[in-house]
Amino acid sequence: MFTISRHPVSDDVRQRAHLDDADYQRLYQQSVDDPETFWGEQAKAFLDWFKPWDEVCSGSLSKGDIRWFSGGELNISHNCIDRHLAKRGDQVALIWEGDDPNESATITYKALHEQVCRLANVLKDRGVKKGDRVCIYMPMVPEAAYAMLACTRIGAVHSVVFGGFSPDALRDRILDADCRTVITADEAVRGGKQIPLKSNVDTALNSCPNVSTVLVVRRTGKEVDWQAKRDLWYHEAVQQVAADCPAEPMDAEDPLFILYTSGSTGKPKGVLHSTAGYLLQAAMTHKYVFDYHDGDIYWCTADVGWVTGHSYIVYGPLANGATSLIFEGVPNYPDTSRFWQVIDKHQVNIFYTAPTALRALMREGEAPVKKTSRSSLRLLGSVGEPINPEAWEWYFNVVGEQRCPIVDTWWQTETGTIMITPLPGATDLKPGSATRPFFGVQPVLLDEQGKEIDGAGAGVLAIKASWPSQIRSVYGDHKRMLETYFTAYPGYYFSGDGARRDEDGYWWITGRVDDVINVSGHRIGTAEVESALVLHEAVAEAAVVGYPHDVKGQGIYAFVTTMNGVEPSDELKKELLSLVGKEIGSFAKPELIQWAPGLPKTRSGKIMRRILRKIACNELDSLGDTSTLADPAVVDSLVAERLNS
Residue 276 phi, psi (nearest 5): -70, -50
512 annotated ligand-binding residue: yes
Q: List the one residue from 190, 512, 536, 642 that touches ligand PRX (CB under 6 A).
A: 512
Decide: 198 and 216 in contact? Cβ < 8 Å. Answer: yes
Residue 106 forms beta bridges with which residues?
95
Decide: 54 and 36 in contact? Cβ < 8 Å. Answer: no
Residue closest to 645 by CA, chosen among 624, 612, 618: 618
Q: DSSP string spanning 207-252?
A: T-TT--EEEEE-SS-------TTTEEEHHHHHHTS-S--PPPPEET
CB of residue 50 vs ligand PRX: minimum separation in angstroms? 30
Burial of residue 2 (number of CB atoms within 10 Å: 0-12, 13-18, 19+): exposed
411 annotated ligand-binding residue: yes
Q: CA-to-CA distance for 616 and 561, rounded, in angstroms?
A: 16
Q: Does 392 bind ligand PRX (CB under 6 A)?
A: no
Chain positions 361 to 390 lying near ligand PRX, rule: CB under 6 A, are: 383-386
Q: Does 497 bind ligand PRX (CB under 6 A)?
A: yes
Residue 179 phi, psi (nearest 5): -75, 140
Q: Does 409 bind ligand PRX (CB under 6 A)?
A: yes
CB of residue 462 vs ligand PRX: minimum separation in angstroms? 12
Q: Does 187 bind ligand PRX (CB under 6 A)?
A: no
497 annotated ligand-binding residue: yes
Q: Does 391 bind ligand PRX (CB under 6 A)?
A: no
Q: CA-to-CA distance for 390 and 487, rounded, in angstroms?
A: 37
384 annotated ligand-binding residue: yes
Rg (alpha carbons) of the chain, rounded to whole number: 24
Q: Does 493 bind ligand PRX (CB under 6 A)?
A: no
Residue 96 forms beta bridges with which residues?
105, 326
Q: Tell me the window of 27-35, 96-104, 143-151, 402-410 that interacts with ligand PRX (CB under 6 A).
A: 402-410
Q: DSSP string spanning 39-52?
A: HHHHHHHH---SB-
Q: What is the H or E stretch that residue 172 is in?
A: helix 167-177
171 annotated ligand-binding residue: no
CB of residue 522 vs ligand PRX: minimum separation in angstroms? 7
Contact characters 127-146, ligand PRX, x per CB under 6 A: --------------------
Contact characters 257-276, ligand PRX, x per CB under 6 A: ----x---------------
Q: CA-to-CA distance for 527 and 529, rounded, in angstroms?
A: 6
Q: Does 359 bind ligand PRX (CB under 6 A)?
A: no
CB of residue 113 vs ligand PRX: minimum separation in angstroms? 29
Cβ-based nearer residue to ligand PRX, 93 or 354? 354
541: three-class secondary structure by DSSP: strand
User: From the annotation, which residues make up the binding site for ATP?
Assistant: 384-386, 408-413, 497, 512, 523
Q: Which residues are annotated as a binding site?
A: 190-193, 308, 332, 384-386, 408-413, 497, 512, 520, 523, 534, 536, 539
The footprint of ligand PRX (CB under 6 A) covers 261, 306-308, 383-386, 408-413, 434, 495-497, 509, 511-512, 518, 523
